[in-house]
Structure 1
Amino acid sequence: MKNTIAERILDFLKGYPPFNLIPKITLLEIAKNVEIHYFEKDQIIFSQNDNPHEHFYMVYEGAVRLYRFAEDKKHVLDICDEGDLFGLRPLIMKENYLMGAAANEETILYSIPINIFNDIILNFPKVSQFLIASFATNTRDPFSEKHKGKLFANIEAIKKVENNFIEAQSAKYTRNPITCPPSISVQEAAIIMTKNVINSIVVTKNKIPIGIITDKDMRTKIGTGLFKITDKAASIMTQPVITFPENITVAEAQIARLKHKVSHLCITKDGTNTSELVGILSEHDLNLIQGNNPLLLIKEIKLAKDAETLKYIRSKAAELTKGYIEQEIPIYFVTKVISEINTAITKRAIELSIKEIGRKPPVAYSWFAVGSQGRKEQLLMTDQDNALVFENVEEEQYESVKSYFLNLATKVTEKLNIVGFDYCPANIMASNPKWCSSIDEWKQQFKEWIKDPIPEKILLSIIFFDFELIYGNQELYDEMAKSVLKYIRKNQIFLSFLGKVTLDNPPPLGFFKQFLVEQDGENKDNFDIKSRAIRPLVDAARIFSLYHGLQINNTIARYEKLMEVEPQNKDLFESCSNSFKILLQFRTSQGLTNNDTGRYVDINNLSKADRLKLKSCFNPIKNVQEALKLRFKTSQIS
């Protein structure tokens, strides 16, 4: 006989996170144990410092206000409405309630016993991930060692889900690969490869891979006469091999090949190069699994003859991004891959433009990406931001040299525009004479920005503090980066002004945690996720990194490094990093769905789960901005 009350509860629960992540049969068992409670307006549910109940709560109808007493004043922290959870964290932490809860109006609550939910946390990692993110709204340091020790008994499994690519498709590799000992001749190895119709052979010693010989080795080392066919296989093998464990995913394989520039990965029992070989994963294997492979796209880019071809390849990269997002592959991996593709496109646009001009650049130069591309966070087709620096020349050469590079930059930006990267509305492009200058001129420009930090100049200059070498001379880039950090070390007050401008940006939420939306214009009533949520985290990471003299541009990489250099603030920076990942993935998903930049979000069309996901990211923004105020004394800047 059906339990109709439990069925109704199940129907409600499955519409909200994290219950929508739980299989129906398991969710029904939870529903059977749910109790229903009615509270009149202003009735207390639990008080601050009370011992935790044996269950946590979900709002079925009505609303609940969460409040805290501090310095004899009552502060309303949040208003929970339909589908919101509260009162869970103290149960997991085994501590008293840090806040009180009272009915804000007539309210019906579902109470869920913690004893049956503990198993859910352990057995369903996605539930754990959701709770880790959502706890950011209830505590300053949701990722602290204190919390990690108690938060979940299965914390290692959760970390694995968060940091590895287990959501991605498993790579199918060739088992029992053909091998040979290092002592046989190259000719013997070639005969084995020919007989087995393979393009590579793994050189092993006691079943452990020590090297690999490919068709390329045969061509470049034997065919060119560098070695003889009678030489030992060990003399021409590529070593050491790149190894991975048997559960390698497509995502891991792709990023390994991008990083190490190899065509084959060796699969060993424990993933190290000291254990037994069990398989080989080749470029061909990956191509069969995923035809829209980033390495293939980069190869196509290098062979492209015009901007139209680059545009077609970039459209395939957009499909690749969409596939990664749908597979829930970690956003840091996605940014790395798409950034490599964007960089390759820009490089090819420069090469095609130089060929079009018909003569090589007269002096050494560097092409920089600034802004989101400079931070390697440009996942969608937004506008282009770039600059060019060339080496110092004699005065009589200056005009002709600059003329060449302006001509080059104009052709490059035209090609990037054809590809789909719109011209920068603020004209921050290398084709603008102001942003195509010699190294001394660039140094002087940064010096002026840093020594005289008036708001107008700061707003203009912020984008240039995220510059990344795309093409050209590495030494020019290093010289410029070092000079910028040197000027900032001498003028630390600049960071206070930078912080002040950053903190002038309105927060994401109003007093009662409602989203602050645009009040007028074509995006009226939409939420600007870039300006109100992503940018504050980007700005904070930049300021703290400049303070420590870190030559790092990527926001996630900045926060990870800051965790090392400021271990006392590790929890704060980790929560910021996690929030940034969620926001960037959310914006990318929105942009791909709506075929736009993903910047403006229609809050009313979001599911409850998505609204909660966004809200979970906002507390770290508030916390890191408080840290900026204290560290850089921004309140003293007029």
Structure 2
Amino acid sequence: MANIISSKIADLIVRFPPFDKLEKEELNKLSEEAEVLYFKAGETVFKQKEKAQPFIFFLKEGQVLLRETDGQEKKLVDICDEGELFGVRAMLTGNPYVFEAYCEEESLVYAFPLSIFKPIVDANNQVSLFFAAGLASGQKGAPQHTISSHNYRNTGSDLLSWQKPLNEFKESLILINSSASIQSASQKMTTHSANCAVITDEKQRAVGIITDTDLRVKVVSTALSVQESVSKIMSTDLVTKEKGLPLAEYIISMMKHNIKHLIITEKEKVIGIFSQETLFSQLRSNPFAIIYSLESSENVEQLCYHRNKVDQFLQYYLEQNIKTSVVSQLITTINDSLIKRAIQLAISDMESEKYYKPKVAFAFISLGSEGREEQLLRTDQDNAIIFENVDAAAINYTREYFTQLGRKVNKILFESGFDYCPADMMAGNPNWCLTLSEWKNRFSGWIHSPEKEALLMSTIFFDYRYIYGKQKLTKELDQFLQKEISSNKIFLNFLAKNATKNPAPLSFFKNLIVERSGKHEKEFDLKARAMMPLTDIARVLCLEAGNVNNKNTIERYLFLAENDNSRKELYMQAAQAYEFLSQFRAIEGMRNQDSGRFIPINEITKFDRQLLRNSFEPIYDLQQMIELRFQLNYFS
């Protein structure tokens, strides 16, 4: 009978992650040792602050609520459905339970002994990454240091829903055919008390949108006839998303495109609309409020005040294990809003100081981690300015104006918590405030003469990203860079050699290699030994493929995986590893109140060290691959 029960357990759990990553022998061993527990509705599997039991729990049937006691109130944190694990945080840390596991209904639970389960996790890279990324439902806390969420209750547990598919839209959807008149459209909106309507073609595909503002500004103020077609006033610059994506996907899209309405489709057919108002009802601590506050800040003091609010949310986002890639996009969008407003304030300041503003277009660009959209913590600045080509008579004053502008922006960002770049790679440095032609000459010089300094500059400046101004300047630079590299392939060999210069993360005996002297003696350099190799390799491989547009490391690996099926698994592993390392570094940085670059090895657990080791595996494989691919033995 015992064999029959264990066999049924194995057959069931193998359908759910992370058990689908286990070998058959591991599944059988785990199932044979499992305890089957029955709970009545109203009973608890464990209580908050109770000493951790030597089990991790799997919900076979029923429903378990994870609740946190706050004074006399029990707050719902998450809901565990059938097929989900809970008790994860206690398993990873050995600390008491952070939440109470309350059975909302009759529940059947499998309890797997940690003495069997933990060694499997330690030995299986894919299972380790599963828990490290926080994909297990229930106690999603970060595995590294059990960062307590008690100080962040006010940010709202509603953020836990960020990764859950959003299929229902409470907002009323008004569809109007593009041939309808403005009058009939207005009447329909009034009847349904709607402030917007989607304009569709005969197949109910979105072709435009009108709002109350359009009716006031484009009709009333201009005395346009209401008998005109609604197509005369509709906005056609639409952003659409498919139904069923996580809430985070919709939020990021609206923030990136700076729009108030997002159209939801199903196979191109309009089925819903998602607005800022809906977003405000979904999230109490919403990023739109921060961005709006930044964009409307009247001075530097207000700008700094609103940017500082972000820090109280970042830790909460990470500890709830919202995907790091989503969090970095969120922080990037907020930082971009900060930079844009800083530029506007700086321009206004220069006008008040009677600086003559040249009629020359410019683009402000971010470099490095901010350019790659990977900056989670506030680190030092890396930025530059591109301005249009001007004649010799105007070049000195024009450069002086934009250099002064850059310095003012750099000062505002410094006051907002972003340190000055130690190497002075900032827009306020005349060396990095150049015309488009000068930037092309710099890029060409680095590519044609790939000396040590040129390669260093390439790794920093080739990860540029447009922030403000005339985007056409950066697009023209993109085209130039792509053409230069395609006609000078030998440069990639030197760049590949540079990507392998950092020492291996592990010693021959699989120990983390730490710094031998200096301020960070006996600490592990996470950036130089693990993250930079992944970043540098992704860059050189994408440039080789002719892709100069993808700057984000994870996106680069996803692009490579999509276009090289023979190495797809390796590239996917690299993307997962980089995401984990980014999260690890951010949590370390918040814990130690620094950049998170240097890790005190003696302060992290054996399990954390194992997670780090596992994430290094793609680095070795990628380094070996590019050594052969670019014949690096021939390059000194």
After TM superposition, the score normalised by the length of structure 1 is 0.71
How far has the Cα of 1:460 moved from its partner?
A: 4.0
Q: Following superposition of structure 1 onto structure 2, how do residues 404-483 of structure 1 map, counting pairs within 5 Å?
A: 404-483=401-480
Amino acid across the alignment from 1:274:
K
1:321 maps to which residue? Answer: 314
How far has the Cα of 1:543 moved from its partner?
A: 1.0
Amino acid across the alignment from 1:328:
N
Mapped partners of 1:266, 1:501: distance in 2: 45
2:336 maps to which residue? Answer: 343
How far has the Cα of 1:443 moved from its partner?
A: 2.5
How far has the Cα of 1:567 moved from its partner?
A: 3.0
1:537-576 deviations in whole A, cap 9, x for unaligned?
Answer: 0000111122222112111222222223433322222221
More displaced stretch, 616-625 vs 598-607: 598-607
Mapped partners of 1:193, 1:473: distance in 2: 37
How far has the Cα of 1:535 moved from its partner?
A: 0.7
Q: Following superposition of structure 1 onto structure 2, how do residues 29-428 of structure 1 map, counting pairs within 5 Å?
A: 29-31=111-113, 59=119, 84-85=122-123, 126=136, 167-168=163-164, 173-174=169-170, 186-187=182-183, 189-190=185-186, 193-194=189-190, 197-201=193-197, 212-225=209-222, 227-231=224-228, 236=233, 247=244, 249-259=246-256, 261-265=258-262, 271-274=266-269, 277=271, 280-358=273-351, 359-428=356-425
Q: Assess, with a 3 A threshold, how the Cα gap between structure 1 residues 397 and 166 changes in structure 2: closer, same or farther.
A: closer
8 Å Cα contact 1:362-1:401 kept in structure 2: no
Q: Assess, with a 3 A threshold, how the Cα gap between structure 1 residues 241 and 299 changes in structure 2: closer, same or farther.
A: same
How far has the Cα of 1:172 moved from its partner?
A: 7.0
More displaced stretch, 435-444 vs 179-188: 179-188
Q: Assess, with a 3 A threshold, how the Cα gap between structure 1 residues 440 and 520 changes in structure 2: closer, same or farther.
A: same
8 Å Cα contact 2:328-2:375 kept in structure 1: yes
Q: Assess, with a 3 A threshold, how the Cα gap between structure 1 residues 544 and 236 changes in structure 2: closer, same or farther.
A: same
What secondary structure, in the 3-state scheme, does the structure 2 residue paired with 1:623 have?
Answer: helix
Mapped partners of 1:424, 1:537: distance in 2: 23
**Percent same amino acid among aligned pairs?**
36
Mapped partners of 1:459, 1:177: distance in 2: 53
8 Å Cα contact 2:162-2:247 kept in structure 1: no
Please point out which of 511, 522, 537 is paired with 1:525: 522
What secondary structure, in the 3-state scheme, does the structure 2 residue paired with 1:469 have?
Answer: strand
1:326-375 deviations in whole A, cap 9, x for unaligned?
Answer: 33222222222222222222222222212222243342322221111111
* Number of residue-to-residue matches in the alignment: 516
Aligned CA RMSD, in angstroms, stands at 3.9
Amino acid across the alignment from 2:465:
E
How far has the Cα of 1:414 moved from its partner?
A: 0.9
8 Å Cα contact 2:55-2:112 kept in structure 1: no
1:588-638 deviations in whole A, cap 9, x for unaligned?
Answer: 232234332121222333344433332221000111111121112222222
Please point out which of 504, 516, 536 is paired with 2:513: 516
Mapped partners of 1:228, 1:447: distance in 2: 56
8 Å Cα contact 1:244-1:272 kept in structure 2: no
1:243-283 deviations in whole A, cap 9, x for unaligned?
Answer: 66775543122123235544234567xx34537x4x64321
Q: Assess, with a 3 A threshold, how the Cα gap between structure 1 residues 188 and 557 changes in structure 2: closer, same or farther.
A: same
8 Å Cα contact 2:304-2:416 kept in structure 1: yes
Amino acid across the alignment from 2:299:
D
How far has the Cα of 1:446 moved from its partner?
A: 2.3
8 Å Cα contact 1:168-1:327 kept in structure 2: no
Mapped partners of 1:614, 1:226: distance in 2: 66
More displaced stretch, 620-629 vs 455-464: 455-464
How far has the Cα of 1:236 moved from its partner?
A: 4.6
Gapped runs of 5+ residues in structure 2? 1-32, 36-51, 58-84, 92-100, 141-159
Please point out which of 521, 528, 531 is paired with 1:534: 531
2:96 maps to which residue? Answer: none
Mapped partners of 1:245, 1:365: distance in 2: 36
What secondary structure, in the 3-state scheme, does the structure 1 residue paired with 2:113 have?
Answer: helix
8 Å Cα contact 1:367-1:469 kept in structure 2: yes
More displaced stretch, 193-202 vs 286-295: 193-202
How far has the Cα of 1:231 moved from its partner?
A: 4.6
Mapped partners of 2:581, 2:363: distance in 1: 32
What secondary structure, in the 3-state scheme, does the structure 2 residue paired with 1:281 have?
Answer: strand
Q: Assess, with a 3 A threshold, how the Cα gap between structure 1 residues 328 and 451 changes in structure 2: closer, same or farther.
A: same
What secondary structure, in the 3-state scheme, does the structure 1 residue paired with 2:468 have?
Answer: strand
How far has the Cα of 1:464 moved from its partner?
A: 1.3
Gapped runs of 5+ residues in structure 1? 36-56, 60-79, 93-119, 131-163
Q: Assess, with a 3 A threshold, how the Cα gap between structure 1 residues 13 and 517 changes in structure 2: closer, same or farther.
A: farther
2:44 maps to which residue? Answer: none
Amino acid across the alignment from 1:84:
D
The answer to whether residue 623 in structure 2 is matched with residue 601 in structure 1 is no
Mapped partners of 2:534, 2:325: distance in 1: 15
How far has the Cα of 1:190 moved from its partner?
A: 4.0
Amino acid across the alignment from 2:564:
E
After TM superposition, the score normalised by the length of structure 2 is 0.71
What secondary structure, in the 3-state scheme, does the structure 1 residue paired with 2:136 have?
Answer: helix
What secondary structure, in the 3-state scheme, does the structure 2 residue paired with 1:437 have?
Answer: strand
Please point out which of 604, 607, 614 is paired with 1:616: 614
8 Å Cα contact 1:307-1:416 kept in structure 2: no
Amino acid across the alignment from 1:510:
S
What secondary structure, in the 3-state scheme, does the structure 1 residue paired with 2:274 have?
Answer: strand
8 Å Cα contact 1:505-1:531 kept in structure 2: yes
Q: Assess, with a 3 A threshold, how the Cα gap between structure 1 residues 618 and 357 changes in structure 2: closer, same or farther.
A: same
1:568 maps to which residue? Answer: 566
How far has the Cα of 1:536 moved from its partner?
A: 0.5
Mapped partners of 2:422, 2:511: distance in 1: 31
What secondary structure, in the 3-state scheme, does the structure 2 residue paired with 1:126 have?
Answer: coil
Mapped partners of 1:316, 1:6: distance in 2: 46
1:114 maps to which residue? Answer: none
How far has the Cα of 1:529 moved from its partner?
A: 1.2
Q: Assess, with a 3 A threshold, how the Cα gap between structure 1 residues 388 and 168 changes in structure 2: closer, same or farther.
A: same
How far has the Cα of 1:455 moved from its partner?
A: 2.1
Q: Assess, with a 3 A threshold, how the Cα gap between structure 1 residues 183 and 561 changes in structure 2: closer, same or farther.
A: closer
1:498 maps to which residue? Answer: 495
Amino acid across the alignment from 2:112:
I
Amino acid across the alignment from 1:431:
G
